[in-house]
Structure 1
């Protein structure tokens, strides 16, 4: 129990801070609501009553822009890959030359994927 106590205390502090922040925002935050704020957030896409895509047997829909979602997925992929650098940084001394070579290959792999995505135009906002 002694080894887990600091983690439990930190988790309790994090949960308490989250609950306190949400409660404080609800109490002292602005209460001015308008029609635009009450509408669902659609990422800039105007909601339509028709089916999206316009496949066979459906109403004629519009093409659904997926650029926002592709950018979000790229962010998640590269963010998760970069998280693997933290354990390496913590145990840098203990891993030796093998750890350095493995991390160099990993960083090279991430860099090649990043350069490919950059060349393909996946990172530009049109």
Structure 2
């Protein structure tokens, strides 16, 4: 039993050594010439103007959360559907329970008016 832990420990150590080696090699081979223009804040091709603070409406975050919910739903639903015939009726019931939870969340968002953009 302890031999299998030794193999796992060796793999972890080799992986960490490879990671540290890759970072060290990157640092050793990189040539940088920092200038004032290179150190200036830059995003999406737009020069920064004014302060960096801007107020964002909460509606955008709610839509982001809804997207995450449905993306996670897709991550579980599509692989399940590809092997549905092999899994049986019990997993069908479990998937309908999962989809019911997602539907209740969508219904709640609709009733609260979150899905209306205006």
Unpaired segments ≥5 residues, structure 1: 1-36, 41-46, 53-62
Unpaired segments ≥5 residues, structure 2: 1-43
Going from structure 1 to structure 2, the CA distance change for 1:65 and 1:48 (only over 3 Å counts) comes to farther
What CA distance in whole angstroms lies between the structure 2 residues aligned with 1:90 and 1:79?
17
> 1:96 Cα shift?
0.8
TM-score normalised to structure 1 length: 0.49
- The residue correspondences of 1:15-94 to structure 2 (distance < 5 A) are 38-39=45-46, 49=51, 64-94=56-86
CA-atom RMSD in angstroms? 2.5
Q: Which has the higher contact order (CA 8 A, sep 6+)?
A: 2
Please list every run of at least 4 consecutive aligned residues from structure 1 whose deviation after the TM superposition is greater than 4 angstroms: none
TM-score normalised to structure 2 length: 0.52
1:111 corresponds to 2:103? yes
Which one has a bigger Cα radius of gyration? 2
